[in-house]
Chains A and B, each alone.
Chain A
Amino acid sequence: MPTTTFTMDDLTRLLRECAGEDDSIDLDGDIAGTEFEDLGYDSLALFNTVNRIERDYGIRLSDEIVAEVRTPGELLAEIAEHL
């Protein structure tokens, strides 16, 4: 199996690129347990980011993932299962 990893830094980088960032929110802080909504990201932002992750890492996540994961930590865990 390939030993690709996907870290919180990777996620915040892609969130910034795919969905932008509000000045009022510090993505570099401990956000693993913060809900995406509180970080200013709606379902569109997550679709854009998840689609990018799927392309860049050659994985296929569940269709329901955007509806199901609520925090960056949960999304990381889902991605880890597919790498």
Chain B
Amino acid sequence: MTTSTRTVSGDAGTGSGPVVVTGLGVAAPNGLGVEEYWRAALAGRSGIAPITRFDPAGYSVRIAGQLDIEPKKHLPGRLLPQTDHMTRLALIAAEEALADAGADPKEMPAHAAGVVTAASGGGFEFGQRELEALWSKGGNHVSAYQSFAWFYPVNTGQVSIRHDMRGPGSALVAEQAGGLDAISKACRNVRAGTALMLAGGVDGSLCPWSLVCMTKSGRLSNATDPDRAYLPFDAAASGHVPGEGGALLVLEARAAARERGARILGEIAGYASTFDPRPGSGREPGLRRAVELALADARITAADVDVVFADAAGVPDLDRIEAATLAAVFGPRGVPVTAPKSLTGRLLGGGASLDVASALLGLRDGVIPPTAAAVHCAYADEIDLVTGAPREARLGTALIVARGYGGFNSALVVRR
């Protein structure tokens, strides 16, 4: 092997120009598949409901954005014993995204396609089943699939195998912020010469064990009315609800996408990631810097942004910080802000990727999907929150903001 010539997937940084999105796959509590989700988002149809996968009566949190599927309808039977619910959703979204892009990695040169996903707790329901087997019956009852079905990069591995994607593979964890970090990392792979990257997050493995873990974040809503459980930016905000799903994006260099005649949904134009200082340090939170650095990375100013997809934590202190940040960067009510995640719950590693998908669909259709109708914005002097009904607008550029529990801030800019 000579080293002077670069391989198809050479990682040396060939500077291939802008990276664009050519395909989307979505799995959301209010819609499986891109168009079903998008119809629900525009109609303000919520996927948030009482938990039915198990009896939540004994828990402080009883509401979630649960996404149930009939796995046999979507996946080969051989994959079922070895996959967590979360991985099944990821496999469904991956298939849709590649089909949407009109791309088949099996037909591409070896190593020309890769995968980066965002994760949080991994395949937790699968993990709970095996922990139960271990503790109640003994170690020899633990599944041979446990060695990977629970682990964080399982979606990357399973998707790469199913579609023969032998290029770069990775998985990132930064709770909600990871969904943007994964897209940025995949953009780097495309810039470095990998022809196609599948990137984003599909997450959320709802089971008693994951729910108990998540309640300890102190950020989940104890409300029992699904319509009142997750009210970001509302005076009555009392936390969020957990949800399942996310989105995967097909990324390619714009020149290559044009050459093969692919439909281009938009460009990933800028990104930045920052971290909050230790609480009590007196230093400013990192969110504003993430937003400003992402705009700078896209070489645009705040005035160029047509819509912001907010992190929308649903926790009063965090909502206040975000509203103040957006007002400081864009001016009071300077840009429409929305939070379609108020209809899905927060999807851990999947939520921010779904927001990127929503932003791209919004650019495509010239419409801003609304925040849940029940939300009455308590920061109306600072942000222009789109609630209740979609708002038609000429959209050229969107900013997506994501914060991960523990201090992670990421921001990403997409444009037509």
Q: Do chains A and B touch in the complex (CB under 8 A)?
A: yes
Q: Which residues of A contact B143 (CB under 8 A)?
A: 48
Asked whether A40 lies within 8 Å of B140 as measured between CB atoms, the reply is no
Asked whether A21 lies within 8 Å of B140 as measured between CB atoms, the reply is no
Bound-complex Cα distance A6 to B80 (A): 25
Q: Which residues of A contact B145 (CB under 8 A)?
A: 44, 48
Residue of B nearest to A50 (CB): B144
A18 interface residue (CB < 8 Å to B):
yes
B6 interface residue (CB < 8 Å to A):
no
Asked whether B144 lies within 8 Å of A48 as measured between CB atoms, the reply is yes
Chain B contact residues, majority secondary structure:
helix
Bound-complex Cα distance A19 to B145 (A): 9
Asked whether B81 lies within 8 Å of A19 as measured between CB atoms, the reply is yes
Bound-complex Cα distance A21 to B78 (A): 5
Contact of B81 among A22, A23, A48, A55 (CB under 8 A): A48
Can you list, as one digit per residue, whether each of A4-19 has a CB less than 8 Å from chain B (1) or not (0)? 0000000000000111
Bound-complex Cα distance A38 to B80 (A): 18
Bound-complex Cα distance A79 to B143 (A): 20
- Please judge, given known A-B contacts A21-B77, A22-B76, A23-B76, whether A44 and B140 are in contact too, CB under 8 Å: no
Asked whether B141 lies within 8 Å of A45 as measured between CB atoms, the reply is no
Q: Which residues of B contact A17 (CB under 8 A)?
A: 81
B79 interface residue (CB < 8 Å to A):
yes
Bound-complex Cα distance A79 to B79 (A): 26
* Distance to closest chain A CB from B340 (angstroms): 35
Asked whether B140 lies within 8 Å of A20 as measured between CB atoms, the reply is no
B16 interface residue (CB < 8 Å to A):
no
Can you list, as one digit per residue, whether each of A23-50 has a CB less than 8 Å from chain B (1) or not (0)? 1000000000000000011001101100
B170 interface residue (CB < 8 Å to A):
no
Residue of A nearest to B76 (CB): A22
Bound-complex Cα distance A66 to B81 (A): 18
For chain B, which range describes its interface: under 10, 10 to 19, 20 to 34, or 35 or more residues? 10 to 19
Name which of B77, B143, B144 has the most chain A CB atoms within 10 A of its CB: B144
Bound-complex Cα distance A41 to B144 (A): 13
Residue of B nearest to A47 (CB): B144
* Distance to closest chain B CB from A15 (angstroms): 10
Asked whether A22 lies within 8 Å of B77 as measured between CB atoms, the reply is yes
B222 interface residue (CB < 8 Å to A):
no
Contact of B140 among A19, A23, A45, A51 (CB under 8 A): A51
Q: Which residues of A contact B140 (CB under 8 A)?
A: 51, 54-55
- The residues in B between 56 and 91 inclusive whose CB is less than 8 angstroms from any CB of A are 76-82
* Distance to closest chain A CB from B363 (angstroms): 39
Contact of B78 among A19, A51, A54, A55 (CB under 8 A): A19
Asked whether B78 lies within 8 Å of A40 as measured between CB atoms, the reply is yes
- The residues in B between 104 and 163 inclusive whose CB is less than 8 angstroms from any CB of A are 140-141, 143-145
Q: Which residues of A contact B141 (CB under 8 A)?
A: 55
Bound-complex Cα distance A80 to B144 (A): 23
Q: Which residues of A contact B80 (CB under 8 A)?
A: 20
Besides the known contacts A20-B76, A40-B78, A54-B140, 5 further A-B residue pairs in the complex with CB atoms under 8 A apart = A21-B77, A23-B77, A51-B144, A55-B140, A55-B141
In the complex, 20 of the A-B residue pairs with CB atoms within 8 angstroms, ordered by the A residue number, are A17-B81, A19-B81, A19-B82, A20-B76, A20-B77, A20-B78, A20-B79, A21-B78, A22-B76, A22-B77, A40-B78, A44-B144, A44-B145, A45-B78, A45-B144, A47-B144, A48-B143, A48-B145, A55-B140, A55-B141
Query: A-side interface residues toward B, CB under 8 Å?
Result: 17-23, 40-41, 44-45, 47-48, 51, 54-55
Query: B-side interface residues toward A, CB under 8 Å?
Result: 76-82, 140-141, 143-145
Closest 7 CB pairs of A and B: A47-B144, A48-B144, A20-B78, A20-B77, A21-B77, A20-B81, A22-B78
